[in-house]
Amino acid sequence: MSSLLRALKELRRYPSAIAGLAIIGLLIIVSIYAMVTIPYSEAIRLWRGGPGVWDEYPRNAVPAWFDWFSGERLPKTITVDSRTAGTRTVEPLDGGLVRVRYTLPFEFPYAVFPSELSLFSAATYEGKRTRFTATWIQPDGHTIPLVSDRSMRDTDTYYISLDNNLRDRLPRAAAPEEGLFLAASDAAAAHPRAPASGTYELVVETEIPEGHSFETRLVVFGKAYGLAGTDNRRRDIMVALLWGAPLALAFGLFGALVSNIATFVLAGVGTWVGGHVDGLFQRLTQLTLLLPLLPIMVMVGQFYGRSLWLILGIVILLNIFSGAFLTYRSMFLQAKEAPYIEAAKAYGARNGRIIFRYLLPRIVPVLLPTFVLVIPQFVFLEASLAVLGLGDPILPTWGKLIYDARSADALYKGYYYWILEPATLLMITGFGFALVGFALDRIFNPRLRTM
Amino acid sequence: MTHETLLSVRELRTWYELRKWGFFRAGYVKALDGVTFDLKRGDAITIVGESGSGKTTLAKTVLGLVPPTQGEMILAGEHLDGQKRGKALAWLRGNVGFVQQDPYAALPPFMTVDRILREPLVINKVSKGDQDARIDAAMGEVRLTPQSDFLHKYPHMLSGGQQQRLVIARAIILQPQLVVADEPVSMLDASVRVEILQLLRRVQETHGLGVIYITHDLSTVRYFSEYVFVMYAGKIVEKAEVRELIHNPLHPYSQALLTAISDPDPDNADTVKEVPAGEPPSLAHPPSGCRFHPRCKHHMPGLCDREEPKSFEPTPGHFAECWLFRQGGTS
């Protein structure tokens, strides 16, 4: 054991190993951070999405730091909530009604149009329809009526960008998220079209029963969001990037350790016991080597389920009697026949002592690098299965992210970040483990040093 | 020195099973096929023979590393046969020492000298206080001194000769009655061979040990033992005292072996040595009758290839399993 610790200390002498350890350490920190800030069930809920989860996030927004490279300032999402901003006037009417008039001002400083406009509203009464009127006021005072006397439910969303009626009334029939930001003087000019910056105002007027409240929220969706951007379902990609780390590490570590240790122990038992047990294990290995992994995974996904942990279990099972079994077996055979083990038998050492004090100290150091190097293989395997659509349907993994991006034609549409972010993380993970594994290999198998 | 019998071996057979496809029995390799000899306490015997003659299997069988297929083995009055094998083995292991061929491979590379010598003591439950004294004594005996310089070294830090002395120290640390040395000097430099053999001889004489010295090299035999047994294809074909065998080899195979020794004599440059043609026979399918007959120049058709020769004693104390000596021999 002490020689193992000494060898691990020797890792410090390899800068590449330190870099690799730093990467692995960082991944572990990210994993812990992800699990602490977003609990497992919350991560699943967030990634499943649905009404109310991602409504106010922009669709297909690039990461905010793109600005540093493009030199452009892409708009961020602006939310103006009647509860916290603007002014309101309340005017009693006959018949137990009041007329409420909100003014929602916001500053728009960008030179790029926003991506969408929506007006969310919620009232405290139920089941009753009301009517509302909305007017858009540009910085220069030009007013554009959006809707008048539109019928609405107690909780409703007015998708301004989708209002074709409005589009037809805007100059040059521009999409509302563009037309509403074009200055009247500019509207006639064909090019270049740019939004007028300044303070805009939305005025909302509605009649509601007395004693109730009605709150409304204007969301001007940006084109850049957060550190990772968003996908076509408005989900923050960061959630999947963060949660992808613990899932990848868990899959990789668990898969590599369990399958490797099982293979190792079985190879050891097989060679030690020998005879029919060894023969059986060898036949099983030859059989498993012939089994095609992907078609089996496709069938399992089709008929049983695609839970990450089910996939992990099957991958481990199929990996126990794999090529590594033959490698380990040959090492055990070689070590078992070592003259010093024969000598130990001759002076009376029993099986347990020989295995733990003579065999393992010889073999474990040689295999440790392999253990480390196999981890990214499992990480990649999970990602590959996910990319092929065989991944866990509910968990946010890196492979799932790439799958989603591919099915949404992310590259064709220019959303490179959507694929590059998870792909980069996968590569960095593989790189980190490879650096450590190769350094360990050089320490434990010093003959490689000269090669 | 008492001359009672230490080790008695009768018709010992060790066969290895051959497998087909990992499951089915496909015959046996008869590595040891009916070996009989006695070893007196305080004596050393040498077993010579070419590769594949069964020398090492004999060593392993005597050490209890390989279970014998048939036959009888009695060490210091203890029967080591099938029935009570478990118990007898435990006793055997405290009473035999093993010196292997390749000293570096024989020492676990991840243990220090101290650990290597302590392991047999711990396993055989020698008290803690005794352990240090025994380690010190054994190292002194093989001249790994001063002991404190070596205790914390790993095998790769020692020279080949030192490694082999450590192996000898390990073999005698349990104070065995019998030491089996399987080609103990064949991997060493010529410069340390004699030294190691003399060391082994001195240790043997000090403790009155029985020693079985196994070698393929007849030229080292004269440094060592009282008796020489010649093995061929799993059988002992000739037994004699060292001088007697060297000056008067009887079995045609022994004669061939002796011819093959290279002496540093200038005349040898001009002589062509007559060495039997062919290779040692397959032990899975040994030739019928005398196993040497396909290579023997005295081959007598109808006899040698039909019937296995018995042990004849043409001169007292000199045995040969060869039909050439049937007239004057006892059967």
Taking only the tens place, the pLDDT of each residue in A183-239 is 876 655 555 678 888 999 999 998 888 888 888 999 999 999 999 999 999 999 999
Give mean pLDDT, residues A418-438.
94
Q: Which of A444, A439, A440 is nearest to A366 (CA)?
A: A444
CATH architecture of the domain formed by A74-221: Sandwich (2.60)
Residue B257 in 3-state DSSP?
Answer: helix
Q: How far apart are CA B54 and CA B31, in angstroms?
A: 5
* Confidence bin at A20 (pLDDT 50/70/90): very high
- Neighbouring CB atoms inside 10 A of B59's CB total 25
The residue assigned the tokens 């007959």 is B293
- Contact status, residue A39 vs residue A239, Cβ threshold 8 Å: no
Q: Residue A5: how many CB atoms within 10 A of its CB?
A: 9
Q: Which residue of B has its CA nearest to A337?
A: B105
DSSP state of A62: B
B314 lies in some domain: no
Nearest to B106 among A343, A353, A362 (CB): A343
The residue of chain A nearest to residue B123, with distances taken between CA atoms, is A349
Outline which parts of chain A fall under CATH 1.10.3720.10.
Answer: 2-47+235-450
Backbone φ and ψ for A14, nearest 5 degrees, come out as -110, 110
Give the other-Cβ count within 10 Å of A232's Cβ: 16
Q: Work out the percent of chain B whose per-residue pLDDT is above 90.
A: 18
Nearest to A68 by CA among A227, A236, A277: A227
Check CB contact under 8 Å for B100 and A342. yes
Give the span between the Cα atoms of B75 and B85, in whole angstroms.
13
Report the alpha-carbon angle B23-A335-B193, nearest 5: 120
Q: Do A340 and B108 touch (CB under 8 A)?
A: yes
> Is pLDDT at B77 greater than 70 in this prediction?
yes
Quote the percentage of chain A above a pLDDT of 90.
47
Residues in CB range of A298: below 8 A, 6 or more apart: A390
Neighbouring CB atoms inside 10 A of B121's CB total: 21
**Inter-chain CB proximity B119 and A361 less than 8 Å:** no
B127-154: pLDDT as tens digits: 888 999 999 999 999 999 888 899 999 8
Write down the CATH number for the domain with range A2-47+235-450. 1.10.3720.10
B73, B7 in Cβ contact below 8 A? yes
Could you tell me if residue B324 is inside a domain?
no
Share the mean pLDDT of chain B: 84
Say how many domains are in chain B. 1
Beta bridge partners of A156: A121
Per-residue pLDDT band at B67 (split at 50, 70, 90): confident
B41: containing domain: 5-288
> Which ipTM was obtained for this model?
0.85
The whole-angstrom separation of Cα B7 and Cα B178 is 8
Whether A253 has a pLDDT exceeding 70, the answer reads yes
Give domain status of residue B316, yes or no.
no
Q: What average pLDDT does this structure show over A416-431? A: 95
Among candidate residues B102, B143, B96, B147, the one with its CA nearest the CA of residue B124: B96
Chain A contact set for B96 (CB, 8 A)? 346
Instruction: Give me the CATH number covering residue B179.
Output: 3.40.50.300
Give the nearest chain A residue to B88 (CA atoms): A348
| Residues of chain A contacting residue B97, judged by C-beta atoms under 8 Å apart | 346-347
Nearest CB neighbour to A279, from listed B22, B93, B97: B22
Between CA A326 and CA A288 the distance in angstroms is 12
* pLDDT confidence of residue B42: 85
Residue B86 inside a domain? The answer is yes
Inter-chain CB pairs, A–B, below 8 Å: 65
- State yes or no: cis peptide before A15, omega within 30 of 0: no
- Reported as a pLDDT band with limits 50, 70 and 90, residue B1 is very low
In three-state secondary structure terms, A194 is coil
Which three-class secondary structure state does DSSP give residue B145?
Answer: coil
* Nearest CB neighbour to A348, from listed B90, B107, B170: B90
What does the DSSP 8-state code read for residue B159? Answer: -
In chain A, CATH 2.60.120.380 sits at 74-221
Mean pLDDT of the region A416-424: 94
| Contact state of A278 with B170 under an 8 Å Cβ cutoff | no
Residue B127: count other Cβ atoms within 10 Å of its Cβ: 8
Run of H or E including A370: helix A360-387
Which 3-state string (H, E, C) describes B84-129?
A: CHHHHHHHHHHHEEEECCCHHHHCCCCCCHHHHHHHHHHHCCCCHH
Which B residues in the span 148-207 are in contact with A, Cβ-Cβ below 8 Å? 167, 170, 174
Q: Do B94 and A344 touch (CB under 8 A)?
A: no
For residue A237 the two structure tokens come to 């990609």
